[in-house]
């Protein structure tokens, strides 16, 4: 009598190979998880049918233990930063993508030591399906921890002196260069800048773009004053600049919020804009259209920044490593130059 050897059951790895997808993507399809493209879902289902794959019940139970949420974590040391419409627009962009999934968005405001500790614990313990991380300053150890965490993490903007594996950023340096070039082309020669925080990637990149343009034009780029990304920061920095260089004829300002404050200082000082001093901001928030005069500014796609962060995170959660993304910026010319 001949003994028949039982037929070996196909493995999940074989299903993934047949479908041409990653193992984690195959697992998500089999467990009916969200955030897998229709094409991949169909390829996995065909592979399952072709191979006769039957999921292991225990493995299936483990694979579906998902938190059902992702975290948008905004770091920093100033709670007032959340009054900036920039962050509101980012949140809207993130939500526009997540509302098409079963995932909920949690907002983590890591603006204190306690908040940072909670975020660190979340990264270590996988209490969410993924994290979007923004506004890291200086050498914050959260950057390296997040980039090496087992939980999927996408950075919004690149931290200073550190390039994570997965990030969405705007072309801050290129946008600032466009702004300074415009000031040079309109005949300005005593050009100053109000920077953002220089322990933050965006602030430093915008200063470097300003310096790039003035170096090409053969102009002095040392007339600079640091400021916080806020209206009060713009007021303080513009006041100091006028005291240092009363003959300045243009200023590039690293955020629209700061530029709004700077415009108030110039008006109080009796300086006409753009007659005496040309002013350019950065971000193109809605209120930039309604300043007096309307503000020339560098447009960065803030809504798209949030949207693409969420899309990148969903791709990571599905098991497919995405490529970093840098969004373009452009100059919007209004009446302040």
Residue 27 is part of a domain; what is its CATH number?
1.10.260.40
Look at 312 and 151; give whichever has higher pLDDT. 312
Identify the helix (H) or strand (E) that includes residue 134.
strand 130-134
Percentage of residues of the chain with pLDDT beyond 70: 90
Q: Are 307 and 158 part of one and the same domain?
A: yes
Beta carbons within 8 Å of 299's beta carbon, 6+ residues apart: 175, 283, 284, 329, 330, 331, 332
- Long-range CB contacts (< 8 A, 24+ apart) of 321-326? 321/165, 321/166, 322/166, 324/165, 324/166, 324/167, 324/168, 324/169, 325/167, 325/168, 325/169, 326/168, 326/169, 326/170, 326/171
| 4 found inside a domain | no
| 99 found inside a domain | yes
Q: Are 181 and 278 part of one and the same domain?
A: yes
pLDDT tens digits for 3-54? 444 456 778 788 889 999 887 778 778 766 666 788 888 898 898 888 888 7
Q: Are 190 and 161 part of one and the same domain?
A: no
| 335 found inside a domain | no
Q: Is 78 exposed, middle or buried (0-12, 13-18, 19+ CB in 10 A)?
A: middle
End-to-end CA distance of the chain: 95
DSSP state of 276: T
264: helix, strand or coil: helix
**DSSP H helical segments within the chain, as ranges?**
12-19, 23-30, 38-51, 57-63, 85-98, 113-125, 142-148, 172-185, 201-217, 231-244, 256-268, 302-317
Most confident of 42-46, 126-130, 231-235: 231-235
| 92 found inside a domain | yes
What is the number of domains present in the chain?
3
Q: Are 131 and 210 part of one and the same domain?
A: no
Q: Are 214 and 288 part of one and the same domain?
A: yes
Token representation of residue 105: 């968005």
Question: Average model confidence (pLDDT) for the chain?
Answer: 87
Beta carbons within 8 Å of 271's beta carbon, 6+ residues apart: 242, 277
pLDDT tens digits for 52-78? 887 654 344 444 456 688 999 888 666
Beta carbons within 8 Å of 298's beta carbon, 6+ residues apart: 175, 176, 178, 179, 280, 281, 282, 283, 284, 329, 330, 331, 332
Q: Are 131 and 157 part of one and the same domain?
A: yes
Q: Are 308 and 162 part of one and the same domain?
A: yes
The pLDDT of residue 78 is 62
| 7 found inside a domain | no
Look at 94 and 5; give whichever has higher pLDDT. 94
User: Domain range holding 112?
Assistant: 69-170+303-327
């Amino acid at each position: 009598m001949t003994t028949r050897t039982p037929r070996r059951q196909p493995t999940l790895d074989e299903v993934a190979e047949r479908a041409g997808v990653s193992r984690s993507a195959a697992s998500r399809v089999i467990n009916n998880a969200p955030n897998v493209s229709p094409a991949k879902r169909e390829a996995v289902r065909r592979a399952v049918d072709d191979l006769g794959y039957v999921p292991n019940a225990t493995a299936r139970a483990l694979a579906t233990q998902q938190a059902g949420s992702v975290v948008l974590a905004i770091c920093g040391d100033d709670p007032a930063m959340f009054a900036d419409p920039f962050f509101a627009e980012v949140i809207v962009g993130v939500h526009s993508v997540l509302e098409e999934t079963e995932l909920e968005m949690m907002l983590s405001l890591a603006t204190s030591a306690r908040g940072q500790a909670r975020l660190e614990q979340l990264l270590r313990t996988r209490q969410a399906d993924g994290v979007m991380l923004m506004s890291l300053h200086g050498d914050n150890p959260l950057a390296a921890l997040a980039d090496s965490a087992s939980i999927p993490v996408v950075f919004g903007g690149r931290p200073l002196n550190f390039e994570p594996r997965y990030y969405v950023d705007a072309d801050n340096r290129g946008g600032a260069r466009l702004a300074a070039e415009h000031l040079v082309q309109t005949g300005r020669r005593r050009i100053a800048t109000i920077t953002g925080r220089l322990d933050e990637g965006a602030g430093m990149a915008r200063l470097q773009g300003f310096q790039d343009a003035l170096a090409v034009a053969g102009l002095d780029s040392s007339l600079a004053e640091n400021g916080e990304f806020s209206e009060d920061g713009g007021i303080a920095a513009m006041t100091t600049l006028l005291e240092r260089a009363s003959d300045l004829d243009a200023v590039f300002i690293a955020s629209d919020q700061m530029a709004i404050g700077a415009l108030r200082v110039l008006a109080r000082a009796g300086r006409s804009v753009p007659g005496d001093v040309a002013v350019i901001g950065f971000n193109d928030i809605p209120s930039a259209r309604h300043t007096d005069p309307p503000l020339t500014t560098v447009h960065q796609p803030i809504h798209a920044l949030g949207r693409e962060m969420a899309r990148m995170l969903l791709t990571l959660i599905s098991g497919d490593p995405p490529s970093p993304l840098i969004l373009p910026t452009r100059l919007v010319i209004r009446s302040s130059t």
